[in-house]
Amino acid sequence: MIQKLFTKTLTTCGIFSILFGNILAQDLNDKSNIFFDEGKLTFQSKDKAFKLKLDNRIYTDLSFYLPTESVDGLSSKPNKDIEEDDGVFRFNNGVSIRRARFAIKATLYEKWFAELDVDFAYNEVELKDMYLGYKFNDHISIKAGHFKEPMSMERLTSSRYLTFNERPMPVEMFAGGRRMGTALTAWGNHWWLSGGVFGQQIDILQKEKNRGSDGYGFTGRVASAPINNDDFTLHFGGYASYRTPDANGTENRIVEFRTFPESRTDRRRFVRAEIANVNHYTTYGIEAAVKYKKLLAYGEYMFTSLSRFKEENNNKLQLKNAEFIGWYAAASYMILGEQKRYVPEDAEFAPMYQKRKGGCLEIAGRVSHVNLNDFHEISNPITGGAAYAYALNLNWYPVPNILLGLNYTFMDNDKYADDKGHITKDNQPLSKAMPNGLDFNILQMRLMLSF
């Protein structure tokens, strides 16, 4: 299956490249039309009406997980994908390919733009971005397809510009992601606004029969940078999303919130909850950032309210809304080189200028928190777990296309952070067997190459 998908992907990209290449062929003898744009190989026609840009990335991680106390005696629900899984809990130390991305971005007839982005990490084929857009002018555009919902500065920032190995837990859990939809975006030198309607994520569920209709949602983000110059930038933003759950073959729809512990080599999600009988849920977030010369500090606060019910005597009884929160605060100092610069058209901090030999050296720290426990309805509580993550990063960018990073993260989990009950001890839930929670340290090294 993977081989077939891989072949189809390459075939599609190959046909696209050939067709586009025929348009540019007459201009490619002029080397000025082949250049690197922020580290991405770009082909452009002389009249600049057509442009083809590659955005490929490879991330390799080496990770070690060190629990603060012995995990002997812990059990983990057997993995159905492994023929011989004895159910004994163990961390997966070692090397993983975090991302293996192949992407093509195109500009057509000046006004039209498109992107195809596919990931082959973990020996799986996953469609990331696939959309077609139109620019009404240099400051207003619309696009439709599969892409990120406009929420959270950290979510919208490309992975190649992230300071830490992973996005913070609340962003991974509550800030949407890529979905089928359409969105309108407008921006100026000091403001940014985007909103759209979104449906289902592209996944294997769409191949299932009789699963029911997609859920739908409305998402919008607004941001302002009242001050933005080479030395000082001030950014404020906010976003909101309303969503109904996707169908999964049952009458009463289910929502699952989950997040990795800011590392992906071990594929276990400790903070995780599956919630049944959901009407709809809303997420709100605020974000702020300040950059002063070599220092960049930023953070977000997120709040999710979920409407649900229970069935009793064939009647639906409305329950009190469940409420979840998450936040993070981060700071980065560029020891060598320039700090990341603010990009008004995206309302985010992206590439830094590299004006010196030896590249850029960065040190950064972050604290993040997520709480997936709710006891408003005491007769029907939600115990998905809560966690704090404390991270330190040292990043070296020898050239714009390469990152060598060192990361240390301490995960402080509460007693309910048990991978939706999959982790137990002596046939007891962790909330009884380990009332202080399963805490651990993570040591990581990263090599990133983009081209």
* Per-position pLDDT tens, the chain of length 451: 444 544 545 444 554 454 455 544 545 555 558 887 777 888 888 888 899 999 999 999 999 999 999 999 999 988 777 777 889 999 999 999 999 999 999 999 999 999 999 999 988 889 999 999 999 999 999 999 999 999 999 999 999 999 999 999 999 999 988 999 999 999 999 999 999 999 988 865 456 778 788 889 999 999 999 999 999 999 999 999 999 998 877 777 899 999 999 999 999 999 999 999 999 999 999 999 999 999 999 999 999 999 999 988 888 899 999 999 999 999 999 999 999 999 999 999 988 877 777 899 999 999 999 999 999 999 899 999 999 999 999 999 998 889 999 999 999 999 999 999 999 998 899 999 999 999 999 999 999 999 8
Residue 95 lies in a domain: yes
Distance (Å, whole) CA 242 – CA 307? 11
What is the reported pLDDT for 368? 98
Threshold 0.85, pTM exceeds: yes
What is the reported pLDDT for 23? 47
Residues in CB range of 22: below 8 A, 6 or more apart: none
Residue 17 lies in a domain: no
Q: The domain that contains 264 carries what CATH number?
A: 2.40.160.10
Contact 281, 255 (CB under 8 A): yes
Burial (CB count <10 Å: 0-12, 13-18, 19+), residue 351: middle
Residue 2, SS3 per DSSP = helix
Q: Domain range holding 87?
A: 55-450
What is the reported pLDDT for 191? 98
Distance (Å, whole) CA 298 – CA 275? 31
DSSP for 430-449? HHHH-TT---EEEEEEEEEE
Burial (CB count <10 Å: 0-12, 13-18, 19+), residue 139: middle
The pair of structure tokens assigned to 68 is 């603060």
Residues in CB range of 342: below 8 A, 6 or more apart: 225, 228, 233, 235, 291, 348, 349, 350
Distance (Å, whole) CA 326 – CA 242? 17
Residue 7 lies in a domain: no
State the sign of the Cα–Cα–Cα–Cα dihedral 152, 236, 281, 148: negative
> What type of residue is 183?
A
Distance (Å, whole) CA 320 – CA 284? 19
Q: How many domains does the chain have?
A: 1
Residue 145, SS3 per DSSP = strand
Contact 198, 177 (CB under 8 A): no
How many CA atoms are closer than 13 Å to the CA of 196, on its beta-carbon side? Answer: 24
Contact 343, 149 (CB under 8 A): no
Of 309, 305, 257, the residue nearest 281 (C-alpha)? 305
Distance (Å, whole) CA 127 – CA 84? 30
The pair of structure tokens assigned to 412 is 């402080």
Going by the DSSP 8-state scheme, the letter that residue 274 receives in this structure is E
Is residue 337 left, alpha or beta, with left meaning phi > 0 and alpha meaning psi from -120 to 50?
Answer: left
Residue 192 lies in a domain: yes
Cα-based distances in Å from 108 to 118, 135, 148: 21, 11, 22
Tally of CB atoms within 10 A around 449: 13
Of 195, 233, 189, 194, the residue nearest 349 (C-alpha)? 233
Of 186, 107, 152, 402, the residue nearest 288 (C-alpha)? 152
205's enclosing H/E stretch is none
Residue 364 lies in a domain: yes
Residue 14 lies in a domain: no
